[in-house]
Amino acid sequence: MNKKQRRALSQLMLSGPYTVWMAGFIVIPLFLIVYYGMTTKAGAFTWENITAITSSVNLKALWLSVELSFICTVICLVLSYPLAMILANSKMKNSSLTAFLFILPMWMNALLRTLAWLTLLENNGVINTVLKAIGLPAIHIINTPTAIVFGMVYNYIPFMILPIYNVLVKLDRNVINAARDLGANAVQTFLRVILPLSVPGIISGITMVFVPSLTTFAISDILGGSKILLLGNIIEQKFKTANNWHAGSGLSLVLMVFIIITMVVSSHYEKDGESASVW
């Protein structure tokens, strides 16, 4: 065996396991969604599972999912950007520690943390007790779409903070100083230098918040009191309760269209998927 053959063999041995794994557990399963989504239980071709999205219940759920996840993404962006800027400019340059502070909550079960918000937000929950004690009007948001947005923001905001923070902390201070030296005021420097340079972080943050909030079913289950259905809830019920995989796959295909649009838009701004890392 010569050197070239040996190299090819080692290459095959190294990439082989993952290639097989990828094909079997990533690519084929995705095609299975397409297959199930376009067939009836008897195995005949149909569009019905997909056009089911136009029924009033499903359409309402789709619209609500898009609306809530859009609001959630905007709120996350507005709250995260100033925070990321403050953290990036702070004297504490220990970036791994800062990142840990925002990853740390993830080590406590997400469902339990969301449930804790139920305790806090309930009509006679902790927050309302405090509000009443100091003479402020109580808030009644539990089991409403507002509570769901609240839960989404809570769960996914770390995924907005970290990519923006990562971009800002690596920003070359000289570029900012140069802008100031050339006569730009603070607002101009922000709008024309800092903001444009942080776009990759913003885009990856938007993707990482929008996709999970668009597709959640657990948050709406817990904070919406199972009365408000998002598209994720409907798909989950089709798979786990109704055992109707064909109908569930059809609706998932609709959901995937939105996910693919988000991915295409974000990959347009990203190079090599590097900014997607949160660590």
Q: Shortest approach of another protein to residue 56 CB, angstroms?
A: 22
**Cβ atoms < 10 Å from Cβ of 231:** 28
Instruction: Give me the 186-225 binding string for another protein, x by CB under 8 A, dash otherwise.
Output: ---------------------x---xx-xx-xx--xx---
Nearer to another protein, 42 or 182 (CB): 42
Which among 273, 238, 255 is positioned nearest to 69, based on CA atoms? 255
Interface pick for another protein out of 52, 61, 99, 102 (rule CB under 8 A)? 102
CA dihedral 11, 16, 18, 24 (to 10 degrees): 160
Residues within window 148-187 making contact with another protein, judged by CB under 8 A:
154, 157-158
The verdict on 116 binding another protein (CB under 8 A) reads: yes
Q: Which two tokens stand for residue 139?
A: 């808030």
Q: Shortest approach of another protein to residue 8 CB, angstroms?
A: 11
Rounded-to-integer distance, Cα 159 and Cα 149, Å: 15
Interface pick for another protein out of 117, 156, 159, 165 (rule CB under 8 A)? 117
Residues within window 222-251 making contact with another protein, judged by CB under 8 A:
222, 232, 235-236, 239-240, 245, 248-249
Residues within window 35-54 making contact with another protein, judged by CB under 8 A:
36
Q: Shortest approach of another protein to residue 113 CB, angstroms?
A: 4
Range in contact with another protein (rule: CB under 8 A) among 25-33, 42-50, 132-140, 177-185: 25-33
Phi/psi zone of residue 136: left (φ > 0), alpha (ψ -120 to 50 degrees), beta?
A: beta
Q: For residues 241-267, b (16+ Cβ closer than 10 Å) or e, as one string?
A: eeeebbbbbbbbbbbbebeeebeeebe
Range in contact with another protein (rule: CB under 8 A) among 20-28, 39-47, 133-141, 182-190: 20-28
The verdict on 81 binding another protein (CB under 8 A) reads: no
